[in-house]
Amino acid sequence: MKYVDEFRDRDKAATLRREIAALVQEIRPARPIQVMEVCGGHTHAIFRYGIQDMLPEEVEFVHGPGCPVCVLPMGRIDDCIAIARRPEVILATFGDAMRVPGSHGSLLQAKADGADIRMVYSPSDALALARTHPDRSVVFFGLGFETTMPSTALTVLEAERDAIGNFSVFCNHITIVPTIRAILDSPDLRIDGFLGPGHVSMVIGTEPYDFVARQYRKPLVVSGFEPLDVLQSLWMVLRQIADGRAEVENQYARVVTTGGNAAAQRAIAAVYELREFFEWRGLGSIDLSGVRFRDAYADFDAERRYAVPALRVADPLSCQCGEVLTGLLRPHECRMFGTSCTPATPVGALMVSSEGACAAQYRYAVRAA
Amino acid sequence: MCLGIPARIVRIDDAERMLATAEVGGVRRQVNIICIVDDAHPVESCVGDWVLLHVGFAMNRIDEAEAAATLRVLSELGEMQAELDAMGGEGEIRR
């Protein structure tokens, strides 16, 4: 039991492991039970703590699309680079986005070629750059789910209040709920239940997931990030399956409430509206899955300010991220895994960040082998 | 970026703009506390709060035990140092 050594409470981990095995005996599945962890943070934890290896072989984690860096499509990276290459522009971005491949290289390569691209920790740092460089045009590369959506919105509200004219945002914020629905609608669906994201849920609450249980009859348990949280949440999903129940449950109640964070939701509602559709790397176009600025904030919208090329660029043909994301393939079963696609030279989305399933598997499974 | 990091609010910098200084692991930076402030928890009561910080915005209050547990997970995931480095920032982008 080498893995259990790192759990904070070994006895509890061992008990949960036994109870999960007992539940699987009770369910007697005809095929392996697939549980999707939606959030990339959970994916990272599952690999880091070897949680899959603790489970009976009848239970499989499917690593979902919850890494906003990973699912950025190449066309959006190309657009971002086109903006960054303008001589008057300083592009400010989270470090995570620097290595995401576009069709002609990454932001890192554009920076090496002379584009003024700066890594920031926060959108408020990007706004500070605009204040200190009034002669330049500062564009913040806004990305992430509802965990980072409020921070971009609040920064835009601050820019408006202080009339900062040389600040705008290239908005790539996305929302996970329509994507869960798209996965549930996929004809090959084999997923039996979900671990819901922790920090997205901290903002949006648990109510937006109710349709998963009511309409699709699948259990969803919002989970924390500690290894014991993940095990306990999995147990809760399996308990529901064994009981024939489908409910939204909250294992992470110490952080997540039913209604979410009201101030963050107000900022989101004030600044953004849903896009008709948004492109996801590996999953294609998903209706209502992205946000853009409302007309009232058009001045802060880099897409309107710079008329980006907005070309749709297909994922590489050899890429099988879509199959991995929907649970049809495991990461190492992709034909490019670990050969032409590695964390140092990612081709597919899931190899880009430590929260992507392929990068996590490469880091913890391949290199340990 | 996504997991965030627990930090402790040590000082209110600008009550009107809801800006405060947060500290974790010896790194201090200015953060926005608008999402943890409401009538029941006004600005001045935020000093001493442990919060979950996402890209410079306090998104939730958590208790100290939860903060410690989360910091340990971040450290075990190898995300702690990168987050602290990003928070500390380079001279140019600090306020």
Compute CA distances A274 → A295, A363, B47, whole Å.
Answer: 12, 36, 36
Instruction: Kindly state the tokens that stand for A296.
Output: 């009232």
Estimate to the nearest angstrom the gap between the alpha carbon of B89 and the chain centroid. Answer: 14
Q: Is there a contact between A48 and B77 if contact means CB atoms under 8 Å apart? A: yes
Q: Is there a contact between A261 and B60 if contact means CB atoms under 8 Å apart? A: yes
- What residue in B sits closest to A257 (Cα-Cα)? B60
Q: Record the pTM.
A: 0.93
- The pLDDT value recorded for residue A80 is 97
Burial of A1 (0-12, 13-18, 19+ CB in 10 A): exposed
Longest dimension (CA), chain A: 68
- The pLDDT value recorded for residue B2 is 67
In B, residues 30-89, which contact A (CB 8 Å cutoff)? 30, 32, 34-38, 52, 54-57, 59-60, 62-63, 66, 69-70, 72-73, 76-79, 82, 86-87, 89
The C-alpha angle A315, A318, A319, rounded to 5 degrees, equals: 50
- The pLDDT value recorded for residue A327 is 79
From the list A160, A107, A106, A152, the residue with the least C-alpha distance to A126 is A152
Instruction: Kindly state the tokens that stand for A11.
Output: 């006895």
Sole residue written with tokens 């880099």: A302
Instruction: Give the whole-number percent of chain B exceeding pLDDT 70.
Output: 91
Q: Quick one: DSSP state of residue A362?
A: I
Name A244's Cβ contacts closer than 8 Å, sequence gap at least 6: none
Q: Is there a contact between B78 and A354 if contact means CB atoms under 8 Å apart? A: yes
ipTM: 0.92
Name A234's Cβ contacts closer than 8 Å, sequence gap at least 6: A20, A35, A55, A59, A195, A221
- The pLDDT value recorded for residue A49 is 92
Three-state secondary-structure class, residue B3: coil
- The pLDDT value recorded for residue B94 is 38
pLDDT tens, position by position, B24-73: 999 999 999 999 999 999 999 999 999 999 999 999 999 999 999 999 99
Instruction: Give the Cα separation of A264 and A250 in Å (integer).
Output: 20
Instruction: Give the Cα separation of A220 and A209 in Å (integer).
Output: 8
A102 with A77: CB under 8 angstroms? yes
Taking chain A (369 residues) in consecutive chunks of 10 residues, what is each chunk's mean pLDDT? 63 94 97 95 93 95 88 93 97 92 92 97 97 98 96 98 98 95 88 96 97 98 96 98 98 96 98 95 91 98 89 82 84 92 86 86 72
